[in-house]
Structure 1
Amino acid sequence: MSQDTNDTIGLSRRKVLAGLGAVGVASAGAGLGTTAYFNDTEAFEGNTLTAGELDLKLDYKSTYLGGPGRLEHVQSMGYPDAEDLGDGRYLLDQAPSPADMQAWEDLVQGEEFDFCSPEADEFLVNGDGIPVFTLDDVKPGDSGEVTISVHICDNPAFLYLAGELTENAENGQSEPEMEQEGEDTDGIGELADAIEVCVWYDEDCDNVYEPTGTGQQNELEVALVSDVSGSMGGGKIAALKTSATSFVDNLSSPDEAAAISFASSANVDQELTTDYQAVKDAIDAYNASGGTSIAAGVSAGENELLNGTNATMGASKVMIVLSDGQSNASAAIAAADAAKANGIRIFTIALGAGAATGLLEDIATSPDDAFVAPDAADLDTVYAEIAQVVLAGEQKIFEGSMADFFGTFLADGHALDGDRQEEGRQPYPGATTQCIGFEWTLPAEVENEVQTDSVEFDIGLYAEQSRHNDNPQVTFNGTEANSTSPGPAPNGTGNVSGQN
């Protein structure tokens, strides 16, 4: 720590007063012929250095698929506020609890709640590990899921997934179990080998693994809105045809596509359909001529996605807008804002040096959804990148047995990627909110060998600053750093609870 701020850069109060005293003496003696020199002093005062903050905070929502009619039993296992979600699924707990009529996933991804504020700590996991699952009487066919929402306050950090299987107990043998597997000789149960685990980047924090990229496991409807103005002639229109039709080749039923072109006005060249060849034929027929009205193209795309003959209510709506020229900015932005307000996600592609790159970024749903193709030859790559985002879905981190997950996969921790759309591993941005999904399932085909068995395990996250850290560590001891963990533990039929 520094001394009193009056000592800054050597200008103490005593020195300043002494200087004033010297001026007084010089002034008093001026009549005696003493010379006074002009002088001036400047100083940088009040300098401070404050250490930054790296605080990992978690919140979560956990559910349990345990069969219908068991709400009271679930509540008796330590979940007094559990809710019946229908179809045998129960909401076990969530932190923080959103206000009435607001979904948890909307709260954790919204801006209304400041997760990094000290006041938020009472609602979050921040320092004290807690059990998320404390379940007994688990039967084949049961499953549980927890989505962990990650908040890094407030500096970027590399994130690691950590965990340990702390118990895999036999707990004696029932008669059916002994008949199935023979007499136990080591006290080690079979439950960890039988339970299947899936871990993924839960992009929309909704507790559901969605490998299809459609947002809510529903069909996708995509409008390919393409500039066919005069400036698109030659190699540009040819590259557009090749790249856009390749994008269509990635689609599969029930996903639908529409082809819309615009120049001075817009045309719906092929309405939404699963006849992908018809969409490609419409694109292949494009010719370049006329001016550029992005607003007309966006409005036509919105109308087709929302009101077209084959438009489906509840489908995920996506628009891909390509342009190589300038357009009326206010009209284009107004049209895009209307489409986005109606739930349409807009991707944009700025083609060539003459494209209105800034305008197209404003039109896109987010800056990450705005792409640039410097040359027509780059279009194929850009459309492929958008296909990855739109169609590839949520990325799986692990799938396998619980024994393999904790015993092998997490033996040295697993490095998580803060931006799956960028090449290479990226840190998680400061003040970010992203979600990790963790699901366990005891398959219905499992037989008597797991009777009375139980497991306990810990799972958590470890954060490490990214600044000046070009080579983040691969292995670590999460207990000696800033790690925060909710400790899920799905149990067998014995009396076992999760611990952390």
Structure 2
Amino acid sequence: MTDDTPHRHGLSRRRILGGLGAIGVASAGAGLGTTAYFSDEERFEGNSLTAGELDVKLDYKATYAGGPDRLEEIDGWYSKDGPGEPFKVEEVASEAGTYLIGEVPDANANEIWENEVQNTDLCAADLGLINGDEIPVFTLEDVKPGDSGEVTVSLHICDNPAWMYMNGELTANDENTVTEPEASAGGENNGISDSPIDGDGELADAIQTKLWYDENCNNVHDGGGQEQRDRPVCIQLVIDSSGSIGSSTMADVRSAAKEFAGQFLPEDEGEETDNMVGVVDFENSADPVQSLTDSLSDVESAIDGLTSGGGTSIANGINVGQSGDDGESGLLDCPDGKDRIMVVFTDGQDNTDSTGKGDAAKAAGTTIYAIGVGGADMEQLEGFVGEGYDSSSGEEEPEIDPQNYIFPSTVDTSIDQLFSQVSETIAGDETVIKEGSLAETMAALENGIALDGDRSSEEMDPFVGGMTHCLGFEWELPEDVGNEVQTDSVGFDLGFYALQSRHNDQPPDNPFDGNFTDDNGLPSGGNSTNATNGTAD
């Protein structure tokens, strides 16, 4: 290496490091000022998971037919200091000797309930429905042969669809004392006793009961079945096809309406029927898409052609359904000897002056039912619905409870079950769940029974959230019962249980069979309410 090498390189370690630092700073500065980069960013913000709700809530109305002039006596059994809930008993004005002995929400405390129930979110927190409570419905003393009682329980599945179960049991069946006439009666195996004796009484076997799906929630079993209906029917389906009915909802409507028609018209075109069905769709205007016919295939084809778009004129739909249009027949052309019935489906509010627009149809003998979902105005629908009558013969419009003619839901997914409720109401075919003595009914309920969310189909279906289902339970001590039931008393419980149907596509095993109970003896994994219990002496 020559002597001038240090002069040619002349860099120390410090100088090298210092130079690199300067270059780095210069490079960074140059990059900020003169270059650009491709970039891309994806973000998922605001993530959250919230558990859904499954809550079954109940309301009810109970009556007791115990004979006239007993209001003060019966009211005493339901005083605040007595065995029942604080409820002021009232005599039913239209039925002498029948008393309203229980109601939740209590109409005595909330006079608007009967008028507002159709417009109320029945799952709201402040309505005072039965929710996990244990209350008595029947607390009756001095029951005599010929007495009867009835309770209709309204079930509300909040939020999620669920399989529903019902259970019950006798909690008491006591002989108590034995009077002289009781001791000498047939079927009584005990001697006279002024003190309570051990053993079961005869009252639980003597009381006759019926448990059924009360489709129109009217506290009456409308039984007999379609084949036993007094007269055949002409039914006009008046279906909302406005723009608020989306394509998926319209698909549900078409499916439910065809199922409905199949309840009244035979699938086999060669089979004769006296029933007839027609179809009208409405938006701003109304069009009869199928005149009254006994051909199920024609009705189904008309329903398959329904599409959505436009406004909502329920009044036009009713007018065309009654009178017809463009050569297509309406219910006025229904042959004599058939009942005229109109079923209106809507998810909105009438955009015309709808006051009294159903009156002409009802005055001409047409009974109008309405199915309302989503944004339907239930109070407005009350002005359309009602029982048909013949005004031309001087008959006056009957007083009706609109709730018996309106079938509401807050969700669109319940459309098939709503049509099912209407079809069974029209057919007079409210399905009986169990019939027999009180002892037999409670024995059947002791292990729990599954309830069906759609009675018109052969399969067992869950109960859709957001709609109302009613169950009726009536009891009667027959007039021909003898003295063997004197002084006997019974007690019984009824309860309801909901289990989510999502991830349980098929009805699960009966949760009351003992395999799924929690520490309290109730089925685990669901929601349970002991809604009613009762005693009778």
Note the alpha carbon deviations across 1:386-424, whole angstroms, 9 max, x for none.
Answer: 9877435111111001111112x1132010000111221
Which residue of 400, 405, 409 maps to 2:441?
405
SS at match of 2:177: coil
Change (3 A) 1:44 1:225: closer
- Is 1:414 aligned to residue 449 of structure 2? yes
Change (3 A) 1:40 1:309: closer
Change (3 A) 1:369 1:302: farther
Residue identity in the other structure for 1:188: D
Instruction: Give 2:330's aligned residue.
Output: 301
Using the TM superposition, give the Cα deviation of residue 431 of structure 1 relative to its aligned residue in structure 2, in angstroms: 1.3
The whole-number CA distance in structure 1 between the counterparts of 2:75 and 2:225 is: 35
The whole-number CA distance in structure 1 between the counterparts of 2:135 and 2:441 is: 20
Change (3 A) 1:182 1:418: same
Q: TM-score, normalised by structure 2?
A: 0.58
The whole-number CA distance in structure 1 between the counterparts of 2:165 and 2:148 is: 25
The whole-number CA distance in structure 1 between the counterparts of 2:426 and 2:270 is: 14
The whole-number CA distance in structure 2 between the counterparts of 1:448 and 1:96 is: 38
Which residue of 210, 223, 226 maps to 1:198?
210
Within-5 A mapping of 1:89-488: 89-97=98-106, 104=114, 108=117, 110=118, 112-120=119-127, 123-180=128-185, 181-183=188-190, 186-212=198-224, 222-223=233-234, 243=269, 246-248=272-274, 295-296=324-325, 300-303=329-332, 317-318=340-341, 342=362, 344-345=367-368, 368=416, 390-407=426-443, 409-471=444-506, 472-476=508-512, 477=517, 479-480=522-523, 481-488=526-533
Using the TM superposition, give the Cα deviation of residue 340 of structure 1 relative to its aligned residue in structure 2, in angstroms: 10
Note the alpha carbon deviations across 1:17-46, whole angstroms, 9 max, x for none.
Answer: xxxxxxxxx999622779885544321011
SS at match of 1:449: helix
Whether the 8 Å contact between 1:168 and 1:189 is mirrored in structure 2 is: yes
Off by >6 Å, runs of 4+ in structure 1: 26-29, 32-36, 99-103, 239-242, 257-262, 308-311, 385-389
Q: TM-score, normalised by structure 1?
A: 0.62
SS at match of 2:149: strand
The whole-number CA distance in structure 2 between the counterparts of 1:54 and 1:42 is: 35
Give the helix-richer structure, 1 or 2: 1
SS at match of 2:332: helix
Residue identity in the other structure for 2:72: E
Query: Where does structure 1 lack aligned partners over 5 or more consecutive residues?
Result: 1-25, 227-238, 249-256, 271-278, 281-292, 322-333, 348-364, 372-384, 493-500
SS at match of 1:160: strand
- Is 1:52 aligned to residue 52 of structure 2? yes
Note the alpha carbon deviations across 1:122-160, whole angstroms, 9 max, x for none.
Answer: x21101110001110011111110000000001000001
Instruction: Give 1:22's aligned residue.
Output: none
Change (3 A) 1:422 1:297: farther
Using the TM superposition, give the Cα deviation of residue 212 of structure 1 relative to its aligned residue in structure 2, in angstroms: 3.6
Whether the 8 Å contact between 2:210 and 2:435 is mirrored in structure 1 is: yes
Residue identity in the other structure for 1:93: G
The whole-number CA distance in structure 2 between the counterparts of 1:74 and 1:27 is: 98
SS at match of 1:406: helix
Change (3 A) 1:419 1:297: farther
Within-5 A mapping of 1:62-101: 62-78=62-78, 80-85=87-92, 86-97=95-106
Using the TM superposition, give the Cα deviation of residue 247 of structure 1 relative to its aligned residue in structure 2, in angstroms: 2.2
Using the TM superposition, give the Cα deviation of residue 456 of structure 1 relative to its aligned residue in structure 2, in angstroms: 0.8
Identify which range, 81-90 or 144-153, moves more after superposition: 81-90
Using the TM superposition, give the Cα deviation of residue 115 of structure 1 relative to its aligned residue in structure 2, in angstroms: 1.0
SS at match of 1:72: helix
The whole-number CA distance in structure 2 between the counterparts of 1:244 and 1:340 is: 36
Whether the 8 Å contact between 1:142 and 1:441 is mirrored in structure 2 is: yes
The whole-number CA distance in structure 2 between the counterparts of 1:28 and 1:128 is: 78
Change (3 A) 1:98 1:107: farther
Change (3 A) 1:176 1:415: same
Identify which range, 163-172 or 470-479, moves more after superposition: 470-479
Whether the 8 Å contact between 1:172 and 1:187 is mirrored in structure 2 is: no
The whole-number CA distance in structure 2 between the counterparts of 1:458 and 1:320 is: 38
SS at match of 2:120: coil
Change (3 A) 1:297 1:403: farther
Change (3 A) 1:338 1:91: closer
SS at match of 1:153: strand
Q: CA RMSD of the aligned region, Å?
A: 4.5
Change (3 A) 1:309 1:157: closer
Percent of residue pairs bearing the same amino acid type:
44
Query: Where does structure 2 lack aligned partners over 5 or more consecutive residues?
Result: 1-23, 80-86, 192-196, 238-264, 281-287, 295-319, 345-353, 371-405, 408-414
The whole-number CA distance in structure 2 between the counterparts of 1:303 and 1:133 is: 47
The whole-number CA distance in structure 2 between the counterparts of 1:318 and 1:27 is: 89
Whether the 8 Å contact between 2:235 and 2:277 is mirrored in structure 1 is: yes
Using the TM superposition, give the Cα deviation of residue 241 of structure 1 relative to its aligned residue in structure 2, in angstroms: 12
Using the TM superposition, give the Cα deviation of residue 191 of structure 1 relative to its aligned residue in structure 2, in angstroms: 0.8
The whole-number CA distance in structure 2 between the counterparts of 1:138 and 1:83 is: 18
Q: Kindly name which structure, 1 or 2, has the bigger radius of gyration based on alpha carbons.
A: 2
Whether the 8 Å contact between 2:495 and 2:529 is mirrored in structure 1 is: yes
The whole-number CA distance in structure 2 between the counterparts of 1:166 and 1:28 is: 92
The whole-number CA distance in structure 2 between the counterparts of 1:136 and 1:58 is: 26
